[in-house]
Amino acid sequence: FGILCAVSAIGNIFLLTMNSTWYSLPKWPVFEYKSPLSRYVGIVGVTIWTLGLRLHLLNALNRMIALVFPLVSYKYASKRMTV
């Protein structure tokens, strides 16, 4: 669970940094809506957002299994099984 939360936090930090940097750039032609650079940045942003969404679903599934099957989850959550 801790590894999932750490990876999710790193993805969120990267996405927030990328968005805040991109929106603070000056209005030059290279940063316009249809430039190849802006499309590449958009693709990277959407990919990171999609991976973050899937990690949130994995976190929810992890917590559901820990609540619904508490005795079974200890067997599968050992260090040997998770790493």
Q: What percent of the chain has pLDDT over 90?
A: 1
Could you report the per-residue pLDDT of 54-78, keeping only the tens digit for each? Answer: 888 988 888 888 888 877 777 776 6
Could you report the per-residue pLDDT of 46-56, keeping only the tens digit for each? Answer: 888 898 888 88
Q: Which residue has the higher pLDDT, 10 or 74?
A: 10
DSSP class per residue in the chain: -HHHHHHHHHHHHHHHHHHHHHHTS---GGGSTTSHHHHHHHHHHHHHHHHHHHHHHHHHHHHHHHHH-HHHHHHHTSHHHH-
Instruction: Give the pLDDT score at 72.
Output: 76
Instruction: Give the pLDDT score at 23.
Output: 76
The whole-number average pLDDT for the span 11-25 is: 83
Q: How far apart are CA 49 and CA 6, in angstroms?
A: 15
Taking the whole predicted model, whether its pTM rises above 0.75 is answered as no
